[in-house]
Amino acid sequence: MAQSNTSQQMTDDRKLILIVEDEFVSREILKMTIEQNYDVLLAENGSQALKHIEESGDRLSLILLDLNLPDMHGVDILNMINEKEEVHRIPVIVLTADKEAEVECLDIGAADFIPKPYPDIKIIQARIRHTIELFEKRVIIGQTEFDELTGLYNKEFFYLYAERSDAHNSESLMDAIVIDINHFRMINERYGKDYSNEVLRRIGNRLGALTAEAGGLACRRDADHFMVYCPHLDDYEKVFGTLSEGISGEGNAESIVRLRMGVYPEADKSIEIERRFDRAKLAADSVKSNYATPIGTYDSELNEKNMYSEQLIVAFPEAIEKQQFQVYFQPKFDIRGDKPVLCSAEALVRWIHPEYGFISPGAFISTFETNGLINRLDNYVWRAAARQIREWSDRLGAEVPVGVSVNVSRVDLFDPDICETLLGIVEECGISQDKLLLEITESAYSEDSKHIIDTVHRLRSAGFRIEMDDFGTGYSSLNMLTSLPIDALKLDMQFVRTAFREGGDTGMIAIIIEIADLLGVPVIAEGVETEEQMIALKEMGCDIAQGYYFSKPVPAEEFERFLADR
C-alpha cells in the first residue's frame, strides 16, 4: 500500500520537500496538496526518511514529519537533523494529531506543526511557504547580515536598516555615533588576537544591549570601528561610561583599552547615511588619544575644519605642480662640546598658497596622512632636500659636511617601493645615503610592527640612517626598542616644553637619555628655546639639540649661513 518515490520528474528550480508519514491516506493527501508547487519525496518510515535525507539532504527545502512512525519516533529524526551539520539548516514541520505535542515539537526544534486532521489546504500551503522562506532568509541572513564576531549588524545591512528606519520615522531626531578603540593595533599585537576579540565582543554585547534598550541600530564596521544610529540624546557621558567600564576585562588595568566616541548629533537626513557616519568618525578622530575628553562632537567648528581639509585636498595637485610647497631647514647642533657645532638639519615643508597664504603644516600634514597624499608630498620633500644638498655641495665647492633629515610618514612605510624610491633620489642627486637621514615617528612602529620593522631594516641595509622621531609619545616597550633598527632617538618637543615649564619635571627626559645610552644611540632634543634649556639638556647627557634657541626653520639660502660658519 505504501510507496516511496519522487512524485514527478524533479526540475532544478522547484523546491524539494520530504514527506515522512506512515499513514497512506495522510501521506497521499499531503502529497496532493503540495505537489503542484513542489517536488516531493515520500518516506513511509524512519529508515526511508533517513535514507532520503542522506541522499538528497543538500536539495531538501523542508521536511514534513509525522512523529509516530512504525520503526522509530519522529523526535529521533528531528534530533538527528538538528545535530547533523550538513542538514540542520533544513526546517521540519511536524505533523501531529495531538494538541499537547504541538508545543513540545517546537521546543525540540521543529519550525512549525500541522495538526491532524489537516486544516484548510490554504493554511497548510501558507505554513509550508512561510517556513521555507523564513529558513532560506535565515541562512542568507546568517551569512551576510551580521558580523560574525560580535553578532551586531555588518556595515551594509546597518546602512540599509538605518535608511529604512529614516523612511518610517522621518521626523525623529537621530544621532550618528562612531566608537573606536585607541591604539587597537597595538593592543592586538601586545595582548594577542584572542584578547582583542574578547574586547570587541564585549563592546558588541554592550552596544547590542544599549540599542535594545534605547532603540536604534548598532554595527561593527570593521576592525575596531563600531557605529550606532539611535534616537537623539543630549549627553553621551553616561552611555560612554557604561561602554567603557571594565572594558579591559576583569583583573586587567583599566588603561589597556581606551575608547573614543564621535557623535554627530541630530544628523542631517538630507545627506547620505554613509556621509553622516563620516562626520561622526571625524568627531571621533578629533579626540584620538585625548584621554581627558574621549567624546568628540561634530559641530560647526569641526565642520569648518573639515571643509578646510577638503579645500586643501582639492588644492594639493596644483600646489605640487606650481611648487607652492617649499622646503625649509632647521639646524641641529651637537651640544656635547664647549660650543654647539652644526651637525645636521631637518627639512620641513611649508605651504605658501597664493590665496590662503601660509598654511601651517599642522593643518595639512594630518589631512594628507589620512588620505594618502602624504606619500606624494614626502616624495616631493625628499627630492627637494636631496637636490638642495647637491646644490650646496656644488656651490660651496665641497661636499656638504652635514646631513639633512627628512620625515618619513607611517603611510610611506607601506609603500613597497620606498627603498628603491629613496635610493633613486640619492643617486639622481649624486649624494650618499648618509646625507639623507630618515625620521620615522615612534607611533608608526606600533601600527604594524613587523611590516614596518622589516621595511626600516631594508632602508638601513641600503645605507640610510634612521632617527626615531617623537620618542616618548608612542608605546614602544623596552623590549621592542632593543630590536628596532634605529640610529638616534629624537625626544618629542612636548617633553622638552613641559619639562622646563614652571614646576616641570625633567625625570622623563633623564629616563629617555638612559634608554638611548642603553641602545648606544645619540639623543636629539627638539623644541629647545632657551640657553638654560640647552645647558640643562647638555648636563643631562643629551647629544644634539634643535629649536628656536638656535634657529627657526629657514629657507635654503638662509641656511647657507650656518654652513659657512661651520
Q: Which CB atom, from 26 or from 409, has the smaller least distance to another protein? A: 26
Integer-rounded Cα Rg, in Å, for the chain is: 34
Q: Which CB atom, from 118 or from 549, has the smaller least distance to another protein? A: 118
The least distance separating another protein from the CB of residue 126, rounded to whole angstroms, comes to: 15
86 within 8 A of 39, measured Cβ to Cβ: no
Map grid coordinates 542631517 to a residue: 268
Which residue in 375, 486, 372, 454 sits closest to 422, CA to CA?
375
Q: Which CB atom, from 28 or from 529, has the smaller least distance to another protein? A: 28
What's phi and psi for 154, nearest 5 deg?
-90, 175
Host H or E run for residue 239: helix 237-244
Q: Which CB atom, from 116 or from 350, has the smaller least distance to another protein? A: 116
Name the residues that contact another protein, by CB under 8 A. 1, 22-26, 28-29, 32-33, 68, 97-98, 116-118, 120-121
Q: Which CB atom, from 1 or from 478, has the smaller least distance to another protein? A: 1
The least distance separating another protein from the CB of residue 30, rounded to whole angstroms, comes to: 9
The least distance separating another protein from the CB of residue 43, rounded to whole angstroms, comes to: 16
Q: Which CB atom, from 26 or from 551, has the smaller least distance to another protein? A: 26
The least distance separating another protein from the CB of residue 47, rounded to whole angstroms, comes to: 18
Which residue in 453, 457, 437, 386 sits closest to 546, CA to CA?
437
Residue 54, helix vs strand vs coil:
helix
315 within 8 A of 368, measured Cβ to Cβ: no
The least distance separating another protein from the CB of residue 239, rounded to whole angstroms, comes to: 54
If you ran DSSP here, which 8-state letter would residue 111 be given?
S
Residue 55: Cβ within 10 Å count:
11
The least distance separating another protein from the CB of residue 25, rounded to whole angstroms, comes to: 4
Q: Which CB atom, from 120 or from 171, has the smaller least distance to another protein? A: 120
The sign of the torsion formed by the CA atoms of 217, 221, 224, 227 equals negative
Map grid coordinates 529558513 to a residue: 135
What's phi and psi for 262, nearest 5 deg?
-120, 130
- Are β-strands 92-96 and 60-66 bridged in parallel, bridged antiparallel, or unpaired? parallel
Map grid coordinates 640647552 to a residue: 534
Cα(235)–Cα(454) distance, integer angstroms: 45
The least distance separating another protein from the CB of residue 121, rounded to whole angstroms, comes to: 7
Q: Which CB atom, from 31 or from 279, has the smaller least distance to another protein? A: 31
- Could you tell me which residues come within 8 angstroms of residue 2 by beta carbon, excluding any fewer than 6 positions away? 22, 24, 27, 44
Residue 29, helix vs strand vs coil:
helix
The least distance separating another protein from the CB of residue 49, rounded to whole angstroms, comes to: 17
Cα(288)–Cα(285) distance, integer angstroms: 5
Q: Which CB atom, from 119 or from 142, has the smaller least distance to another protein? A: 119
The least distance separating another protein from the CB of residue 124, rounded to whole angstroms, comes to: 9
The least distance separating another protein from the CB of residue 28, rounded to whole angstroms, comes to: 6
DSSP 174-212: EEEEEEEETTHHHHHHHH-HHHHHHHHHHHHHHHHHHHH
Q: Which CB atom, from 28 or from 487, has the smaller least distance to another protein? A: 28
